Structures are given as C-alpha cells and as structure tokens.
Amino acid sequence: MSYVDEVIAQVIEKNPAQPEFHQAVKEVLESLRVVIEADEEKYRKDALLERIVTPERQLLFRVPWVDDKGQVHVNNAFRVQFNSAIGPYKGGLRLHPSVNLGIIKFLGFEQIFKNSLTGLPIGGGKGGSDFDPKGKSDREVMAFCQSFMTELCKYIGADTDVPAGDIGTGAREIGFMYGQYKRIRGLYEGVLTGKGLSYGGSLARTEATGYGLLYLTEEMLKCNGHDIKGKTVCVSGAGNVAIYAIQKAQQLGAKPVTCSDSTGWIYDPEGIDVALLKEVKEVKRARLTEYAAKRSSAEYHEGRGVWTIKCDVALPCATQNELTLDDAKALVANGCIAVAEGANMPTTMEATEYLQANKVLFAPGKAANAGGVATSALEMSQNSERLSWTFEEVDSKLKNIMVNIFHNLDDAAKKYGMEGNYVAGANIAGFLKVADAMQAQGIV
Ligand code: NDP
Ligand code: 2IT
C-alpha cells in the first residue's frame, strides 16, 4: 500500500465517527500524492504524514453556566492545537449545537494549510463549543463566554495560541472572552483577534474574509479571461462572511442575488440590499423573513435552494457540505463558470469533482477564505507594535495577500502537472512550507 493510502486508512481507524475530519484529511492527502511519492521513503521514515494528521494537543473541557432563570447548563468545549511548525496556533472558535471533536479537528486541520498559504507566521488550531448563542440573552452569552474563557485562558496567549471568531462567535462574544482573559491573566495582549476597535481590534478584520474571497475570485476570473464586473453571483449564508462577500461583489460591479440562513433563503433579482441585510442579521439577529418583509423585490423560500438560481459565480459562505452533487449539477446546467468557497469545506468531495470535471473554476476554502485569518495575523502585528493601521493600509495588504495566494496555487498546480486544479495547488503549496519547517525542527 502506498504511504498516502496507509495514513488515510490509519486516520479512519484511529478517529472513528469523525467523518468531516476524514473528509478533510482525504482531500489534502490525495492532492499530496504526487509530492509524497517523489520522496516516499524519506517521508515515511520521518512519519511526516502521521505527525501532520495528529494534533499536537487537544483540550476538552466542560463549560457550566447559569441561564436567566437560574438553571445551570453544561456545554462541551474544545481547543485543538494542531500544528505550530510555522507559528503560534491560530484559528477561530465555533459556537454551534453541531460542534463536536471531529468538526473541530477538520477545521483545525484545514487551518494548518490555510495559514501557511497566507505567507504569515501562524500555525493551525481551532476550537469551540456546542453552545448555541441563538435565542440567548446578552447576559447568558456573557455567562457562557466567561466560563469558557476561565478554562481556556490557561492554554492560550499572544505567543502560543490566538483564537478568533467563526460561526456563532462574533464581536460580542470576542469582547466577553477578551474581558475575562484580561481579568484572570492580568495581561493586556493580543490573545484574541477580531477584537473591537476600541480595545486593539484591526480595521478591516470584520470585512476581511468576505472581501478577501472576492479579491481572490476576481484574480482567478481575470487570469482565466473573465471579468467579475457584470457577473450574477449566488451567495449562501447571511453571516459575517456572506455579508461582506456580497458587499465587495457589489463594489466590484457584480450582482449578488441570493443569501440564506439555517431556515430559509432569499432570491432578490434586483440585487441584495446590504444595508437591510446587515440590519436584519447584525443588529436584530433576526430571520431572513424580516428581509423579505421589508423588500418587495425579494422572494423568501423555506429550506435550501440557493444553488438552483442561475448564476455565473457561486460563493458558498455558510457551512460544511452545503453544496452537494445535485447542487453542482444544477450550477453547471445553469452555466456557472466559477465556485469559490467562503466557508470551510462547503462543497462535498463529489460536488468538487463534478465541478472540476465540467471545467468550472474552483477555489477551495483554504485559499479563498484565508483573508480572515490573514487579517487576524495583521491584527497580531499591530498589537505587537502597539499601533493601529488605517483601513486602506490593512485592506491593501489583504488584497495583495489574496492575489499572491491565487498565484501560489496556480503556480504549484502547474509545477506538479495539474494546471487549473486549484485544490491540488492549495494543498501542495500549503503543505510544502509546513513540511519544510517540521523537517528542519527535528522529531517534535
Ligand atoms: P456566522 O455565524 O456569522 O454566519 C453563519 C451563516 O451560515 C449564518 O447565516 C447561518 O445561519 C448559516 N449557517 C450556519 N450553520 C448552518 C447550517 N448548519 N445550515 C445552514 N446554514 C447555516 O459565521 P461566519 O460567516 O463567520 O462563517 C461562515 C463560514 O465561513 C463557516 O464555514 C466558517 O468556518 C467560515 N469562515 C469564517 C471566517 C471568519 O472570519 N468569520 C474565516 C474563514 C472561514 P443562521 O443565521 O440561521 O445561524
Ligand atoms: O476559518 C477561519 O479561518 C476563521 N474562522 C478565522 C480564524 C482567525 O484566526 O481569524
């Protein structure tokens, strides 16, 4: 059996009931086959792949908190410190009832390669809890965040592990967590990113993932002879990534016509009204039915369905495995020319293969959504030098980073004989830097 197949089989055996983690590992290792097979004995002897698929450290802890009626609740919480070869662990915290160890491991594993692709010195990590912030009062969210940080603060720090936001963790949650960290550790340091602007946050971090997604998509289209201007875009999700992807798409002259949340979706042929969407989602924390109620051009549909709308460019920005083979078939049948992942692993493996086989340009999440973590690393730099950069400065660095990422994957795909396969390009380019650092640092 080849070394790659051996390690995939081991991961499945040693990590039972973690299908998302298996999926993420398979996708990466399949792409690396050509690299590994060129020097298989060396990689095998060093157990490089076994080391890269095994987290350096996994923290599991309980989070007790009290609701507004005095009832005590207990949630499961996780921080997986996956790989620190090229920098301190870096990655978000997901708060969603679906969170379990396998989900956090898939996200942490992806984060290693994503962070490497940014070109910045950040290792891979991820955390979160099965706590659901939806429908909770601000005080309940604060109670959870303080209890969560009371335990987590023992294991993180500005130079060791720097968490940030993800699904369910936005500015409010980061603020509560930062306050508790500072109170217990007595350190005013850049231990979290995505902080508010009044206490060490970076301008453009809120916008960064969505904006970065569009900068990379624009470059990918340009290099393949297309212009983003005038394109119809379907977006899924209605959270941080989706909102700022929609905003930047409009700024670049494209027309985003959909968005979705966990209960339904909007088709707005006139183009999404970003101010209204922000009001509904960021301020009121309400359902998309409220968007439809205030906008006569919008249709609201229950359930899923964004990918049935005819578009040139599809941007999945909600969650993992939300774009299936049937969705991919509908997109291709409707003439879609590009898919770029704003979310982490939103496209199933079969859907990705179908899109690529049908010549749809496909930018994988670990490249396309890397603008968020890249800007988090810029926030860390600003915290270290105790200065704040202007919006324009951060945004122009972000744009440069995204354009460079695209060319790195494009070049890596070409170098290894897989021109146009940006999935392989991203995995290979991300891996080579981490593998080089791991080999240089010996058996640790
Ligand atoms: P938010 O919590 O701000 O928004 C998530 C959106 O997706 C919401 O509209 C939510 O619906 C919807 N959603 C979440 N889970 C599901 C589900 N199981 N089924 C259907 N819809 C769902 O999160 P973000 O925008 O920050 O994150 C979106 C994706 O982008 C995630 O995959 C995340 O890992 C990834 N990402 C985020 C980055 C960041 O900087 N924030 C950086 C890179 C990637 P509802 O409103 O009903 O909850
Ligand atoms: O998936 C991701 O890259 C994020 N949620 C952002 C992580 C970060 O540290 O900014």
SS (H, E, C) 101-146: HHHHHHHHHHHHHHHHHCCCCCEEEEEEECCCCCCCCHHHHHHHHH
**Is residue 163 located within the same domain as residue 302?**
no
Q: Does residue 241 sit in the same domain as residue 105?
A: no
**Res 156: pLDDT:** 98
Beta-strand relationship, 313-316 and 232-236: parallel
DSSP line for 40-104? HHHHHHTTHHHHHTS-SEEEEEEEEEE-TTS-EEEEEEEEEEEE-SSSSEEEEEEE-TT--HHHH
| Torsions phi, psi for 126 (to 5 deg) | -160, 155
DSSP 166: B
pLDDT of residue 332: 98
pLDDT confidence tier of residue 381, bands split at 50, 70 and 90: very high
The total of other beta-carbon atoms located within 10 Å of residue 432's CB is: 16
Residue 310 falls inside a structural domain: yes
The model's pLDDT over 238-269, given as tens digits with 9 standing for 90+, comes to 999 999 999 999 999 999 999 999 999 999 99
Question: What pLDDT does residue 166 have?
Answer: 98
Residue 356 and residue 219 share a domain:
yes
Nearest CA to ligand 1 atom 27: 167
159 and 274 both lie in a single domain: no
Residue 330 backbone zone (phi > 0: left; psi -120 to 50: alpha; other: beta): alpha
Share of the chain above pLDDT 70, in %: 100
Q: Is 126 a catalytic residue?
A: yes
Indicate whether 253 belongs to any domain. yes
Contact, 331 vs 373, CB < 8 A? no
* pLDDT mean over 1-21: 98
Which is it for strands 57-66 and 361-363: parallel, antiparallel or unpaired? unpaired
What pLDDT shows up at residue 102?
Answer: 98
CATH number of the domain within which 303 lies: 3.40.50.720
195 lines ligand 2 (CB under 6 A): no
Q: What is the pLDDT of residue 190?
A: 98
Assess contact for 126 and 114: CB atoms under 8 A.
Answer: no
Which distant-in-sequence residues (6+ apart) come within 8 Å of 275 by Cβ? none
pLDDT per position as a tens digit, 300-330: 999 999 999 999 999 999 999 999 999 999 9
pLDDT digits (tens, 9 = 90+) for 22-64: 999 999 999 999 999 999 999 999 999 999 999 999 999 999 9
- The CB of 318 under 6 Å from ligand 1? The reply is yes
Per the structure, the complete domain to which residue 300 belongs is given by 208-368
> Which one is catalytic: 90, 105, 126, 366?
126
Phi and psi at 233, nearest 5°, equal -125, 135
Q: 193 CB under 6 A from ligand 2? A: yes
Total count of residues recorded for the chain: 444
Q: Within 10 A of 240 (CB to CB), how many other CB atoms are there?
A: 26
Q: Residue 72 is part of a domain; what is its CATH number?
A: 3.40.50.10860
Residue 264 has a pLDDT of: 98
443 phi/psi in degrees, rounded to 5: -85, 95
Indicate the residue among 368, 389, 419 that finishes a domain.
Answer: 368
Taking only the tens place, the pLDDT of each residue in 330-355 is 999 999 999 999 999 999 999 999 99
| Alpha carbons 184 and 10: distance in angstroms, whole number | 40
Q: How confident is the model at residue 150 (pLDDT cuts 50, 70, 90)?
A: very high
Computed over every residue of the chain, the mean pLDDT equals 98
Eight-state DSSP code of residue 198 = G
Report the pLDDT averaged over residues 92-96. 99
Q: 149-180 burial, b for 16+ CB within 10 Å, e for fewer?
A: bbebbeebbbeebbbbbbbbbbbbbbbbbbeb
Do both 152 and 275 map to the same domain?
Answer: no
Q: Is the CB of residue 347 below 6 angstroms from any atom belonging to ligand 1?
A: no
Ligand 1 pocket test, pick from 241, 280, 402 with the greatest ligand atom count within 8 Å of Cβ, gives 241
Q: What residue has token string 């183009």?
A: 271
CA trace torsion 441, 442, 443, 444 (10° rounding): -20
